[in-house]
């Protein structure tokens, strides 16, 4: 989240002031943390099946303690955004609203839920430019869209590994509704779409040549993941693909930073 936030700063029209950066990092950290705690709270029945080692099903914390932490963190993030600026408060509230809605209601819808959680991944890119410019530029919107689409692929693939646990909340993932093959095809298609879009920032002159080596590595990684999920659609392979996606999303952010800074 914080690296993505700095990508937003880099592609802004002016340098971020230190106090703005501190408040923005506090907002991103707190609201993202609150969202993750809420995810654990609402997914406690699913996690009891899919990931019993997580905090609530393992007994490390109670559901009530988790909810209290989520409320405190959410309030802290919203307060930091309010101190920053009105546009920041509005943006933070909208993005946090997506996160809360996803955890409480939208996740059950499957594909729409995948979109909502991916908006959360794209949010810090956009928020970074809102902090400095008060608006979202086309440049950063494009980079955020690449991140959103790649994460959508990850969420769809994740549904393959979570079929058993998702049944506990009747979450209508693509894998549950249409089968593992359909989920694998859609996940791979989203990865390939992100790869195709990765050419556009260089073509449009939004990034420097230093963007290229890091994005080439990233694109090769996503191509390999697409091939892997199409060949093996079992739970173990889906888990592997889901986790590797995070690595290539990090290298993509490095590419954005290098292309914007140098």
Segment 189-243, tens digit of pLDDT = 999 999 999 999 999 999 999 999 999 999 999 999 999 999 976 888 999 999 9
Contact 46, 166 (CB under 8 A): yes
Report how far residue 243's alpha carbon sits from residue 222's, in angstroms, rounded to the nearest whole number.
12
Which pTM does this prediction carry? 0.91
Greatest pairwise CA separation for the chain in angstroms: 52
Backbone φ and ψ for 210, nearest 5 degrees, come out as -70, -15
* Alpha-carbon distance values, 21 to 76, 80, 85 (Å): 16, 11, 12
User: How far apart, in whole angstroms, are the C-alpha atoms of residue 127 and residue 160?
Assistant: 31
Provide the token pair at 253. Answer: 């952010």
Residue 79 has which token pair? 């307060």
Q: Is the alpha carbon torsion for 73, 79, 81, 84 positive or negative?
A: negative
Mean pLDDT score across all residues of the chain: 94
Residue 233 has what pLDDT? 65
Show the tokens assigned to 48: 């009891």
Going from the C-alpha of 28 to that of each of 14, 79, 92, 227, the distances in angstroms are 20, 12, 8, 34
For the segment 101-127, the average pLDDT, to the nearest whole number, is 94
**Would the CA dihedral through 183, 185, 190, 191 be positive or negative?**
positive
Q: Give the Cα separation of 163 and 159 in Å (integer).
A: 6
Backbone angles phi, psi at 164, to 5 degrees: -65, -50
Cβ partners under 8 Å of residue 194, min gap 6: 146, 149, 150, 153, 222
Domains and CATH numbers, the chain: 1-136 (1.10.357.140), 137-262 (1.20.120.1780)
Which position has the token pair 């892997």? 228
Nearest to 87, CA basis, from 122, 128, 120, 55: 128
- The predicted model gives 243-249 an average pLDDT of 96
Report the percent of the chain where pLDDT is more than 90. 87
**Which of 13, 30, 21 lies closest to 84 in space, CA to CA?**
21
Q: Are 132 and 9 in contact (CB under 8 A)?
A: yes
Tokens matching residue 83: 């101190």
Averaged pLDDT for residues 35-49: 90
Place of tokens 């420097």: 208
Which of 230, 252, 251 lies closest to 241, judged by CA?
230
What pLDDT sits at residue 245? 97
b/e for 64-74, b at 16 or more Cβ within 10 A?
eebeebbeebb
């Amino acid at each position: 989240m914080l690296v993505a936030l700095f990508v937003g700063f880099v592609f802004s029209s002016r340098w971020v002031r230190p106090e703005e950066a501190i408040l923005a990092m506090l907002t991103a950290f707190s609201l993202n943390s609150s969202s993750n705690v809420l995810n654990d709270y609402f997914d406690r029945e699913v996690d009891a099946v899919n990931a019993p080692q997580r905090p609530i099903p393992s007994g490390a914390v109670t559901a009530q303690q988790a909810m209290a932490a989520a409320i405190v963190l959410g309030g802290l993030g919203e307060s930091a955004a309010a101190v920053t600026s009105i546009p920041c408060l509005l943006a933070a509230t909208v993005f946090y609203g997506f996160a809360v809605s996803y955890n409480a209601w939208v996740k059950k819808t499957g594909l729409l839920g995948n979109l909502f959680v991916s908006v959360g991944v794209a949010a810090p890119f956009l928020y970074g430019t809102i902090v400095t410019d008060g608006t979202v530029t086309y440049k950063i919107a494009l980079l955020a869209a690449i991140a959103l689409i790649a994460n959508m692929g990850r969420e769809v693939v994740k549904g393959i590994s979570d079929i058993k646990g998702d049944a506990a909340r009747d979450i209508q993932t693509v894998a549950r509704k249409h089968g593992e093959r359909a989920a694998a095809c859609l996940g791979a298609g989203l990865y390939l779409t992100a790869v195709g879009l990765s050419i556009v920032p260089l073509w449009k002159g939004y990034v420097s040549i230093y963007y290229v080596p890091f994005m080439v590595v990233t694109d090769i990684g996503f191509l390999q993941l697409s091939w892997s999920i199409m060949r093996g659609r079992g739970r173990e392979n889906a888990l592997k693909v889901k986790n590797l996606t995070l690595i290539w999303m990090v290298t993509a952010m490095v590419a954005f930073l290098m292309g914007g800074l140098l």
